[in-house]
Amino acid sequence: MPSYNYRYKPNKYRAIKYAGDDQYSWAVFLSEDIKGLRSPISEYTRAKPFYSGLNRSQATYYKNFLMRADKKADREDEAE
């Protein structure tokens, strides 16, 4: 860890409609990758989803899962 005062900012994720209009067209993206884009995101954008083909509740679950994993990794890095 650097000697200067550095605070790690965890990644933010976003669950959003992706490439379709059916029930299973939700995906989870890194928020900074889709900043400024409106829903539904086309599959031809530069942003690539972490998870796709989800329904809305699954997308929320995986978004929270990724956020918890980032926080856990941050705590482990601080312990070292």
Q: List pLDDT tens digits, range 30-69.
A: 998 888 887 777 877 788 899 999 999 999 999 999 999 9
**Would you say the C-alpha torsion 10, 23, 38, 46 has a positive or negative sign?**
positive
- Give the domain range for residue 34: 13-79
Q: Tell the residue number behind the tokens 């980032």, with chain if given.
A: 70
Specify if 17 maps to a domain. yes
Between residues 75 and 7, the one the model is more confident about: 75
Give the tens place of pLDDT for each residue, 67-78.
999 888 877 776
Specify if 43 maps to a domain. yes
Specify if 35 maps to a domain. yes
Is residue 80's pLDDT more than 70?
Answer: no
pTM over 0.85: no
pLDDT at 67: 92
Specify if 3 maps to a domain. no
CA distance 38 to 53: 18
CA distance 17 to 60: 12
